[in-house]
Amino acid sequence: IVEDLKIADTFYTRFKGLMGTKELKDGNGLLIKPCNGIHMFWMVYSLDIVFLDGNCKIVHLIERIKPWKMSPIIKDSKMVLELPAGTIEKFNIEIGNTIDIS
pLDDT tens for residues 90-99? 999 999 999 9
CATH number, domain with residue 36: 2.60.120.1140
Residue 95 domain-assigned?
A: no
- Which structural domain range is residue 43 located in? 4-90
Number of H helices, E strands in the chain: 2, 5
Whole-number Cα distances in Å, 16 to 7, 19, 48, 68, 81: 12, 6, 17, 14, 14
Q: Is the separation of the CB atoms in 96 and 58 below 8 Å?
A: yes
Q: Does residue 38 lie in a domain region?
A: yes
* In a domain? residue 80: yes
Q: Which helix (H) or strand (E) holds 11?
A: helix 11-16
| pTM, 2 dp | 0.96
Q: In sequence order, what are the residues at sequence separation of 6 or more whose Cβ sits closer than 8 angstroms to the Cβ of residue 43?
A: 18, 19, 67, 68
Domain assignment present for 102 = no
Tell me how many domains the chain contains: 1
Could you read off the pLDDT of 28-83 as tens digits, one per residue?
A: 999 999 999 999 999 999 999 999 999 999 999 999 999 999 999 999 999 999 99
Whether residue 100 is contained in a domain is answered as no
